[in-house]
Structure 1
Amino acid sequence: MSTDLFHRSGRLRKGYHREQVEDFLDRAKQVWDAGGPPGAVTSWHVRTVGFDLRRDGYDIGAVDEALDRIEDAFVSREERAGPNSWREAEEGVLARLQRGDGTRFPRGRALGLGYRVGEVDALTARIRDHLVLGRPLAVDEVRTSVFRAGRGSRGYREAPVDAFLDRVVDVMRRRGSG
């Protein structure tokens, strides 16, 4: 009897690392059931989580669909509880910026298009320099940033990058910077 949460991708195809998926879902369920603690897992965490790819991993589409439903549930709860403090948003942005180049966001899938990793990393370095060191950066430079396409693993998935940049814009506006 199988205890897998999702169908597996098979031996010839890669899917999400099963243990990473299960660990994240366990943590999200614990936070959901407890009603907190605040910031431990939010809709943003669900939207931007990334997993390593492994042969015989969990089917990517099935996991992504489940994550979409979980994100929607967290969004609803967050809206009922009131807006997150901007300090929590800023802490999330700074945590993401601490990740190394090439590891800040989930990579693209197979032949799908995403944003070129180097271009996104260059902008995130400028954002870090602005938020941490006070170097000049206009909100509009972040808001209107455009990246060339990167195919497959040479690109970051677009949705997590876009969500992050939205949060950066919000943080910068609330700070009155840029």
Structure 2
Amino acid sequence: MTQEKAQQGSPFERVAEKDYGYSTKQVDVFLSRARATFNGTGADDTIVTSHLVRRTVFEPQKGGYNAREVDGALDRLEDVFAQRERDALIETEGEDAWLQQVGRLSAILRGRLHRDAGERFRRPSRSNAPSYNTEDVDALCDRLIEYFEQDVALSVDVVRRVSFRQAHGQDGYEESQVDAFLDRIVELMASID
């Protein structure tokens, strides 16, 4: 059961005191930075980008902010920053520059998507390392091909929230490589949607 936004000015519901949510301090500091960037009042060394939003993680805290609410807000924030970044690039360098950037990234990503199933990503070097189920990852890759090449609808949120069954070692794909690839897919989808 979640608590109400009991603390005045609290942007998110908190989880019960015995449950874990996101660190309220870390979330508040990050959102303050994002707000300053959005308003153009942030310092150069604290600028928030869509990439930074996507890569931000918060430590767990008992009684912290509801993770689902924070994640949803971060998804919307990432989309806003991606749109602004795209608009800024188009304004300063023209639409052709943006299209070239999208084209280069798309070509790189599609190259990996078109590898044979079971061969799209490397296998972990350690036999006992956790890895992602190859069938699950390949199924998402097939959906991404349909999205990029056949105009089949696919929400960027599906990619953001995807989860794969666990595998072990050589039975699956290396998690860090798949995660990095999916980050770039989200970046591309957010910039073109």
TM-score (norm 1): 0.50
Structure-2 separation of matches of 1:86 and 1:131? 12
Partner residue, 2:112: 96
Q: Which runs of 5+ in 1 are unaligned?
A: 1-82
Partner residue, 2:175: 158
Q: Which runs of 5+ in 2 are unaligned?
A: 1-97
Structure-2 separation of matches of 1:101 and 1:90? 19
Structure-1 separation of matches of 2:138 and 2:156? 17
Q: How does 1:80-91 map to 2 (within 5 A)?
A: 85-91=101-107
Q: 1:85: Cα distance to partner?
A: 2.2
Q: Given the alignment of the two structures, is residue 171 of structure 1 paired with residue 192 of structure 2, yes or no? A: no
Q: How does 1:24-173 map to 2 (within 5 A)?
A: 85-108=101-124, 109-173=126-190
Q: Which runs of 4+ in 1 moved over 3 A?
A: none
Structure-1 separation of matches of 2:103 and 2:184? 11
Greater relative contact order (Cα 8 A, min sep 6): structure 1 or 2? 1
- How many residue pairs get matched? 94
> Identity of paired residues, percent?
36
1:93 alignment partner, SS class: helix
Deviations 1:87-117 (A, max 9, x none): 2111111111110100000012311111000
2:147 alignment partner, SS class: helix
Paired letter, 1:163? A
TM-score (norm 2): 0.47
Structure of higher CA gyration radius: 2
Structure-1 separation of matches of 2:166 and 2:143? 20
